[in-house]
Structure 1
Amino acid sequence: MTRNRVIWSEGLFLRPQHFQQLERSTEMLVEARTAGALAHGWGFSRLVIDPEALKIGRIAIKSAHGVMPDGTPFVIPEEYPAPPPLELPNEVRDAIVYLALPSQRAGMPEYALDDGPQAMLVRYIASDAKIDDAVLGMQDSADTKLGRLNLRFLVEGEPREAFCSMGVVRLVEKRSTGQVVLDDSYIAPSLECRAQPALQEFLVEARNLVRHRADALAARLGQSAQKGVGEVQEFLTLQVTNRFDPWLSHLAERITLHPEALYTVLLQLAGEMASFSPNRKRRARDHAPYRHDDLRGSFEPVMADIRELLTEVINPNAVKIPLQERAKGLYTGTVPDLELLRTAMFVLVVNAQMSSETLRQRLPTQLKIGPPDKIKEMVMLQLPGIAPQPLPMAPPRLPYYAGFTYFELDRRSDFWKQLEATRLMALHIAGDFPGLQIEMWALRP
């Protein structure tokens, strides 16, 4: 069917076909100029299913606004009546119900003057209306025939080749009581996220996950003991979450938000967060391209990715082991994670009112480290215990304090395995170390 424009000339004998062709050429012009402005420019911007109809075995639309895949807009019930309710047979289950409109086809009529059996495949059915004159002072009205969209429901499995269609709901089953059960997880093609509660829930969930992770990171990095840590991963992660928190909050408040725009932002969030996940080898996962006619299949894998990335337990590379002074020169500490004892590097950070070189030489000879129940025996019998080895400089993942000296604990000691039973560690410092300050850190590999 050609859509070339009509050539108007003097003396032209007007026929209905001239105006029909004018409509076709105008529609083509609008479609061609807007096609590149928005990909996937079809779907529902509003959809309300009649809950009362479901109770009696029917599917009916109370209100629906949107655009069909061929670009035909619809506004139900304000401009067009809803399609006739669909009576579902008892044997139908696990099927998508489609909103369908006959397609434009060359050589086939588009309008019917009455709603008879022969009008099944025409796009518009005529209805009578009185149209008022829009000119001020003109009170006349004219009887006019207007075309309403010939919309109907089709169930998955019925022939749809002659129709332009898009999914409305997914049917689970029709119960013996006659009630229709719908699949709440189904997401119909949409122009706006607000038209589908599930899309809005994805957005809110992602924002809340980002906000929770940002709060946790900010609290951790705000602790004085963590300031100056060389490891920058948590700061970079906080930077990402701080960027996405207001962005997602803004999207949640937008009146119009296309699903693909939300999908793009969520993909970016998942990709950036993957940079901080060693389990992923710091690479983003491959996700299938956006599918406008399968929104659940598009969004769910990305959301699962985001949930996993943003709910991972935050394990800082540098873990401080708090030490409590039980008596003069006697300290104890509890290692919070058994895995630290098995894999981490343990470092003592020490300062006293003496030169660093003197501290480096004296401390290893007067410090005993081991299980609390063995520390007295180690001191009395002068057993070596877990030896501290002086480090030439501060490990880059630890806080740097001017004047402090760093020692690595020798994990090869026989006493080290005994620590795993209770995760308790005792330190005994003999001799005089005026102004002694001591911290213990575990560095994950």
Structure 2
Amino acid sequence: MTANMLDLPHLIEWHEGMLLTPQHFQQFAGRSELLTQFMFASGVPFRWGVIDLKIDQAALSGGILRILNIEAVMPDGLLALGGSERGADLEFDLQKAEGTPARIYLTVPRETGLYERTDYSRYEGFVAKDEAASDEVSGAEQTPIPRIRARLRLTSGESGLSGMTALPLIEFAIEGTVCKQTDYIAPVLRMKPGSALSNLCAPVRRTVREKATELASKLPPDARNSDFAGMQQLQWLVSALPQVEVLLESDQAHPHALYLAFCSMAGSVAFLSNARVPPIFHPYDHDDLRGSFDEVLAFIRLALSEGLIDNWIGQPFKKRAEGGTRPGDQYFEIQPTLEKAFGAEADFSSPYLALMLKGPADVMTEWGESCLLAGEDAISDLELSRSRGATCERVDSLGDLVPAPGSVLFQVKNEGKWITPRKKLVLKPAKQEARMPDVATLFIRKRSQTNKGR
């Protein structure tokens, strides 16, 4: 019998009076075993993974990976049962692991012969505790029955996987004699509350629900007629939420089903993002659940931060001119005062404010880093002394605030000598600048969010 699972023994033609031999039953059992594995592995996608895994933590602290119990389905459909609690020892010395990080696999030879006994055989004989079996119909005396089980081993590195069916279990970062488990998540057949994958996904689900609930509470009673934009945002938030929630709360959901639900959520909230269209995600990798989910969850978080800037208050500057139309004659201002423009919800004690300039990135970067930003009574002194006022430093993001498409974001140091809440704020270009931003917007954190952003 070869390793090709489709190369099954032909059906036996049973008939009355047949002289039965052990080969008849061996062929029948071999065909049934392989057919079951083939149908299981081929009928449903990604039907392999860990069902239960128990590790000896005391041995692990000494650099030995010892499996107490493992229940898993291998990628070819084989049910793998092992561990010291089952009388099938599985140990691996982590100092012999290959690679950094080193991934440890549960392996079994691909050779599918049930009764071949070589170093490459898929099965091995063993003495079972219940080797003697009773005839449950007639009640006759017990008869010893030889048993076989899968030849399971723990392996590390690509070199040890040749000719093997492998299931990744755990990953370690190894530095000298120190072995530290990474955040790798092994393939599983179903989600369990409190598992690593559940804990990875739960915060995003919770954030979406909280933002949807908060947005719904702010909508007026007649929002369907008066606030179409708000209703549209709410729909984008909640359309895929129920499916994600029921899958996360179930202890029977397959990770792939949850992944598809989050992809659906990413498509819905994409309308909130600056891109408006979700990226092309990498294909689902059942052997690297964290890598697959991280990409989708990161986009959902980005879309929420771009489309729901509810931790900041934004106020656009108004463009003014000093008797001319040249860029050097133009400037921006927020009036009558910052305090009145932003209201009581703005936290002027926040260590940093944010400035967003719309225009070509390279031009706006130079413009923002050289601009004059200060209260109206300090601008004249700044122009005479050629000082800059409040320091503006370009950043990719500031907490959950990210630049809008075609815009550049700056972190503004909040210094009292330049920025005063009870005075008008003026933004002017350096004398050498030949182009003005299309739009300039100042952002100040809400009072309840200041400590979170520090």
Scaled to the shorter chain, the TM-score interval is 0.5 to 0.7
1:236 CA drift (Å)? 2.1
Runs of 4+ displaced beyond 6 Å: 337-343
Whether the aligned pair in 2 keeps the contact of 1:95 and 1:172 (CA below 8 Å) is yes
CA shift, 1:231, in A, is: 4.8
- TM superposition shift of 1:420: 12
Cα offsets for 1:347-379 (capped at 9, x unmatched): xxxxxxxxxxxxxxxxxxxxxxxx999xxxxxx
2:240, 2:306 → 1: CA distance? 18
Which of 237, 252, 255 aligns to 2:251? It is: 255
Query: Which residue identity lines up with residue 166 of structure 1 in the other structure?
Result: L
User: Within the alignment, does 1:334 sit opposite 2:340 as a pair?
Assistant: yes
2:287 matched residue in structure 1: 293
Give per-residue Cα distances to partners, 1:371-429, cap 9 Å, x unaligned: 999xxxxxxxxxxxxxxxxxxxxxxxxxxxxxxxxxxxxxxxxxxxxx996269xxxxx
Alignment partner, residue 67 of structure 1 = 73
Query: What's 1:204 paired with?
Result: 202
Conserved in 1, the CA contact under 8 Å of 2:267 and 2:277? yes
Amino acid at match of 2:190: E
Aligned-residue sequence identity (percent) comes to 27
2:107 to 95, 100, 104: 100
Q: Could you tell me which of 31, 45, 53 is aligned with 1:25?
A: 31
**Residues 82 and 152, structure 2, Cα contact 8 Å, conserved in 1:** no
What does residue 46 of structure 2 align with? 40
> What's the offset of the Cα at 1:288?
0.8
Deviation of residue 272 (structure 1)? 0.8
Deviation at 1:173, TM superposition (A): 1.1
Opposite residue 195 of structure 2, the aligned amino acid is P
Q: Given that residues 237 and 268 in structure 2 are in contact (C-alpha distance below 8 angstroms), is that contact kept between their aligned partners in structure 1?
A: no
Structure 1 CA distance for aligned equivalents of residues 204 and 376 of structure 2: 46
The reply to whether residue 144 of structure 1 matches residue 145 of structure 2 is yes
What is the letter of the counterpart of residue 103 of structure 1? R
- Superposed counterparts of 1:99-248, under 5 Å: 99-105=106-112, 110-112=115-117, 118-119=118-119, 121-128=121-128, 129-135=130-136, 138=139, 140-173=141-174, 175-176=176-177, 180-183=179-182, 185-194=183-192, 197-222=195-220, 227=223, 230-248=226-244
Provide, for residues 32-56 of structure 1, a one-character-per-residue CA deviation record: whole Å limited to 9, x for no partner.
5445542111111222222111112
Q: Counterpart of 1:307 in structure 2: which amino acid?
A: R
Residue 270 of structure 1, CA deviation: 0.7
> Which residue does 2:424 correspond to in 1?
422
Q: Is the 8 A contact 2:241 2:265 kept in 1?
A: no
Shift of 1:245: 3.7
- Once the two structures are TM-superposed, the CA of residue 168 in structure 1 deviates from its matched residue by 0.9
Q: Deviations over 1:125-178 (max 9, x none)?
A: 2324433325267262111111122100111133322111111111211653xx
CA contact (8 A) 1:40 1:292 kept: yes
Query: What is the root-mean-square deviation of aligned Cα atoms in Å?
Result: 3.8
Give the distance between the partners of 1:298 and 1:44, measured in 2 at CA: 17
- Tell me which of the two structures has the higher relative contact order, counting C-alpha pairs closer than 8 angstroms and 6 or more residues apart: 1
Q: Secondary structure at the match of 1:275?
A: helix
> Is the 2:124–2:148 contact (alpha carbons within 8 Å) kept by the matching residues of 1?
yes
Structure 1 residues not aligned, in runs of 5+:
113-117, 322-330, 344-370, 374-418, 425-441
Secondary structure of the structure 1 residue equivalent to 2:90? coil
Is 2:14 the counterpart of 1:8?
yes
State the AA in 2 paired with 1:104: E
TM-score (norm 1): 0.64
Counterpart contact for 2:193–2:251, Cα < 8 Å = no
Aligned pairs, how many?
328
Q: Aligned in 2, Cα 1:303/1:82: closer, same or farther, shift over 3 Å?
A: farther
In structure 2, which of residues 296, 299, 316 is the aligned counterpart of residue 302 of structure 1? Answer: 296
* Cα shift at 1:237: 2.3
Deviation at 1:104, TM superposition (A): 2.3
Whether the aligned pair in 2 keeps the contact of 1:341 and 1:420 (CA below 8 Å) is: no
Deviation at 1:292, TM superposition (A): 1.2
The one-letter code sitting in structure 2 at the alignment partner of 1:311 is S
Q: CA deviation at 1:342?
A: 9.2
Determine which of 269, 277, 282 is the counterpart of 1:283: 277
Alpha carbons of 1:140 and 1:236: their partners in 2 closer, same or farther (altered >3 Å)?
farther
Unpaired stretches in structure 2, ≥5 consecutive residues:
2-6, 316-335, 347-352, 359-374, 378-420, 427-440, 442-454
Counterpart CA distance in 1 for 2:78 and 2:193 is 18
Deviates more, 1:198-207 or 1:298-307: 198-207
User: Secondary structure in 2 aligned to 1:172?
Assistant: strand
Instruction: Show CA shifts across 1:59-116 (max 9, x none).
Output: 11122222011100123459954443112336754211110011125xx66454xxxx
SS at match of 2:186: coil
Normalising by the residue count of structure 2, what TM-score does the alignment of the two structures yield?
0.62
Task: Say which is worse superposed, 146-155 or 13-22, in terms of deviation.
Answer: 13-22
Is the counterpart of residue 50 in structure 1 residue 46 in structure 2? no
